[in-house]
Amino acid sequence: MQIRKLLFAATFAAAGLCAASLAATAQDWPSRPLTMVVPFAAGGPIDTLARVLQQPMSEALGQQLIVENVPGGGGMTGSLRVAQAATDSHMFVLASIGTHAISQSMHKKPLYDATSAFQPVILTADAPLVLLVRKDLPAKNLKEFTEYAKANQAKMQFGSGGTGTSSHVGCVLLNQTIGVNIVHVPYRGGGPALQDLIAGRLDFICNYVSTAVPAVAAGQARVLATLAGERSTAFPDVPTADQQGLKDFDISAWNAIFLPKSATPAMVAKMNAAVSKALDTPALKKRLDDIGLIPPAAGRRTPEYLQKYVESEIKKWAVPVKAAGLQVD
C-alpha cells in the first residue's frame, strides 16, 4: 500500500512539473528566434509578403524572425512540416488560400485537414489577383486577350505557383469563362513562374498584384485585367474583368498565419497580438498598399474568425474545383 502511495505521489508530482513546464514555455515564448515557413519558392508573392512582415513582426515579438522557403506539393509540404512541429518549435507557416482551402478539394487525399491540423492565429492580408501577360503578347485588354487566346490556344501556356494554388485555379476559371483550353505549367512558387513569363516561355499567369508590380514597373510584363471585384490601388487604371465584360467575375486570394497543432492558447494569443500590432503600423500599411495587398479589418483578425473563414473557404472553392474536374491523386 505504501509503495502505491509513493508511486501515485511521484506520478502526480511529475504531472505537476509537466504542466508547470508547459505553462512556463508558453509564458516565455518566444524564447529564441522564430522561423516563418513560406511553403513556396523564393521570389513569389507569398515570399514577398513574408519579407514585408519579417521586420515588423520581429520587433513586435522581440525575437529575430527567419524566413525559410520550403516549396513542394502546391504549398502542402512546408505546411505539413509546421503542422507536425513540437510545442516549442518556434515555427509557424505563412499560409495561403491554396494551402488551406483549395488543396482540401483539389486533392482526394490531402496531406492534412486544414481545419484541425493547425492552430489558427490571424488573417494577414487579402490578395487580389491580376492577369499578367508577357510583354510582347499582342493584346492590350481582356477583349483582345480573349480573341487572341481563342485563335492560339493550342500553342499557349500559362504558369502558376503550383497545382492547387490560387494562381492555378484562378487561370483555370478565367480560361473556362472565356471559353479556351490552355496548357498549365506548374512551378514550385510564383517566383519561378514569373521568371519564365518574363523570359517569354509562358504567355500569362494569374497571380497576386505583388507579383506584377515590379515586373510591370520594369517593363518586363503587362497587366490586362484585375481579376478581383474592385480595381487595385497598385494599378488604378486597369479595369476589372467584370468591367471588361466578364459579369461578376471575382477572384481574390488571402494569406494567414498558423502555428503547429501543438501550440498552446497562450502562444496563439501572443502571436495574434504581435501580428495585429504590426499590421496597424503606418509603415507596414504603406508597404502592403504598395504591393496591392489589403490588411484585414480589426474584426477579421481573431483566431476564431480565421477558423470559421477557412471552413467557409474550403466549401466555397470545392464547388469550382470539382466542376472544373481539377481533382488529382
- CATH number of the domain bearing residue 311: 3.40.190.150
281 shares a domain with 202: no
Cell readout for 210 is: 505583388
134 shares a domain with 115: no
Q: Given the DSSP bridges, would you call strands 252-260 and 118-134 parallel, antiparallel or unpaired?
A: antiparallel
**Sheet strands (E) in the chain:** 34-38, 65-69, 91-96, 118-134, 157-160, 183-186, 204-208, 221-226, 252-260
Number of domains in the chain: 2
pLDDT in tens, 60-81: 999 999 999 999 999 999 999 9
Those residues with Cβ within 8 angstroms of residue 313's Cβ, 6 or more apart along the chain or in another chain = 97, 100, 101, 254
The answer to whether position 297 is within a domain reads yes
CATH number at residue 222: 3.40.190.10
184 shares a domain with 105: no
257 shares a domain with 119: yes
The answer to whether position 238 is within a domain reads no
Those residues with Cβ within 8 angstroms of residue 51's Cβ, 6 or more apart along the chain or in another chain = 67
312 shares a domain with 257: yes
What pLDDT is attached to residue 324?
83
Cell readout for 147 is: 480573341
155 shares a domain with 204: yes
91 shares a domain with 77: yes
169 shares a domain with 109: no
The answer to whether position 59 is within a domain reads yes
70 shares a domain with 135: no
The answer to whether position 17 is within a domain reads no
Kindly report the number of other CB atoms within 10 A of residue 328's CB atom. Answer: 10
Cell readout for 237 is: 487604371
For residue 292, list its beta bridge partners.
none
What pLDDT is attached to residue 104?
96
Please give the chain's pLDDT, 329 residues, in tens: 555 554 444 454 444 444 444 444 556 899 999 999 999 999 999 999 999 999 999 999 999 999 999 999 999 999 999 999 998 889 999 999 999 999 999 999 999 999 999 999 999 999 999 999 999 999 999 999 999 999 999 999 999 999 999 999 999 999 999 999 999 999 999 999 999 999 999 999 999 999 999 999 999 999 999 999 999 999 999 999 999 999 999 999 999 999 999 999 999 999 999 999 999 999 999 999 999 999 999 999 999 999 999 999 999 999 989 888 888 87
pTM to 2 decimals? 0.87
264 shares a domain with 202: no
DSSP 58-103: HHHHTS-EEEEE---GGGHHHHHHHHT--TT--EEEEEEHIIIIIH
Residue 11 burial (10 A CB sphere; 0-12, 13-18, 19+): exposed
What pLDDT is attached to residue 13?
47
The answer to whether position 180 is within a domain reads yes
Q: Of the candidates 208, 226, 244, which is a domain's last residue? A: 226
158 shares a domain with 118: no
The answer to whether position 178 is within a domain reads yes
136 shares a domain with 117: no
pLDDT in tens, 160-179: 999 999 999 999 999 999 99
Per DSSP, 298 falls in state G
Q: Of the candidates 177, 210, 226, which is a domain's last residue? A: 226
Angle at 154 between CA 150 and CA 158, to 5 degrees: 85
**Separation CA 68–CA 41 (nearest Å):** 9
Those residues with Cβ within 8 angstroms of residue 16's Cβ, 6 or more apart along the chain or in another chain = none
The answer to whether position 236 is within a domain reads no
Those residues with Cβ within 8 angstroms of residue 232's Cβ, 6 or more apart along the chain or in another chain = 128, 130, 209, 226, 238, 292
Can you give the residue range of the structural domain that contains 59?
31-127+252-323
What pLDDT is attached to residue 286?
94
What pLDDT is attached to residue 4?
52
